[in-house]
Amino acid sequence: MPLPIPLPIRVTRRLAMLLLAVAAAAPAHAREEPAKEGVSVGKTSAFTKLVPAEQVEKGAAQQYRQMMQQAAQQNALAGPDHPQVQRLRAIAKKILPFAAQWNPRAAQWQWEVNLIGSKQINAFCMPGGKIAFYSGILDGLKLTDDEVAMVMGHEIAHALREHARERMGKSAATNIGANVISSVLGLGNTGNAVLGASANLLTLKFSRDDETEADSVGLELAARAGYDPRAGITLWRKMQQASKGAPPQWFSTHPASDTRVKDIERQLPQVLPLYQRASGKSS
């Protein structure tokens, strides 16, 4: 029996049930991606439609800006002349032209790439194209450019496939309280649920399917940019080696296993030709 839904604001029962029906009836991925050369990941999630993209990206930009300000105050934000910053931005410059093929909104994003001085083995790309690497992942794992491109492609893929927005949409669909309905449907000035979720974007946990999808899309992005996708295998071997002590943050939130390496190996026939064409190298 369905639970009663308290609605302090004036939202009709029919409207609330319509929102529930959309969330319940929609499969995990609801929009077919066009057939193309490279990897295939099926459809994007219908749950993303329950949360405005503009609001998620605005929240991400605010959080990213605060993080960079805090890093600067702690003298941990690397300047534009830092060799590793220049390296990261050069790699991003080669990858980003292919981003809009996966998400048209990416063409209008104000992309940023920064480096934070920290021993953390971590990196992320927030909605709207806000990228940050921690020096620990570069120095601790001694990443090659190809391996950096694998990390960056993976994180960019999370943003392009709007996995954070999807998780927020699922939360909105399963917590049909007054604030959630009003924020999703634009009814009244009580959109705190979405804004609250966007304030915790870095703590959102992606599903195993999200991680597999980000691996696949990231491999293709890097390959099209001329980076060897086989570096995905060496990257995860390094991550496994690093996890013999306390598991690094990036490893713990992106679970690696022999199955994951095998998944990457299975994708290589689709992405190696893209790399060979972009780099002019043969396998």
* pLDDT 10s digits, 120-168: 999 999 999 999 999 999 999 999 999 999 999 999 999 999 998 888 8
Beta bridge partners of 116: 77, 134
The total number of structural domains that make up the chain: 1
- Position 28 in a domain: no
Q: Tell me the whole-structure pTM to 2 decimals.
A: 0.79
Question: How far is residue 222's CA from residue 229's CA, in Å, rounded to a whole number?
Answer: 7
Tokens of 240: 């496994």
- Position 229 in a domain: yes
Average model confidence (pLDDT) across the chain: 80
- Position 160 in a domain: yes
- Position 98 in a domain: yes
What is the enclosing helix (H) or strand (E) of 124? strand 123-126
- Active-site residues, by number, are 155
Q: Which residue has the higher pLDDT, 174 or 55?
A: 55
- Position 199 in a domain: yes
Domain ranges, residue 229: 53-279
Tokens of 41: 């990941």
- Residue 261: the pLDDT is 85
- Position 61 in a domain: yes
- Position 42 in a domain: no
- Residue 41: the pLDDT is 84
- Position 24 in a domain: no
Q: Which of 18-22, 45-49, 109-113, 222-226 has the lowest mean pLDDT?
A: 18-22
